[in-house]
Amino acid sequence: MLIINDDHRRRAGVCSLDELCPYCGSAFAFYPLVMSDDASQTVYHVACALELATDLLVDLYTFFSPPAPYARLFTLTAPAPTLHSEGGSDAINRS
């Protein structure tokens, strides 16, 4: 959620612009701010939220698609359905 004024800030649980951003440790000082939509609803500077999101995207991208010569650590696959011996091709063991 974008925070652009004192009313938004108070409803986000930030008492003043003197509170510190949990990402960079600097005072919020000015608008706009961003509140995450996770359970803790943390408030960040917009630039800090973008940096955090970018770091997460880069980490996830390189984890799932590492640069050469590294290979993927794993590949997600769905288990092949197994045919039940008494049910022919209609019975699939879902255990």
Task: State the residues that interact with Zn ion by CB under 5 A.
Answer: 21, 23-24, 45, 48
Cis ω for the linkage preceding 22 (within 30 of 0): no
- Shortest separation between residue 58's beta carbon and Zn ion, angstroms: 19
In the complex, the smallest distance separating the C-beta of residue 3 from Zn ion, rounded to whole angstroms, is: 13
Q: Nearer to Zn ion by C-beta: 20 or 83?
A: 20
Residue nearest to Zn ion (CB): 21
Tell me how far, at minimum, the Cβ of 24 lies from Zn ion, in Å: 3
Report the residue number, 50 or 92, with the smaller CB distance to Zn ion: 50
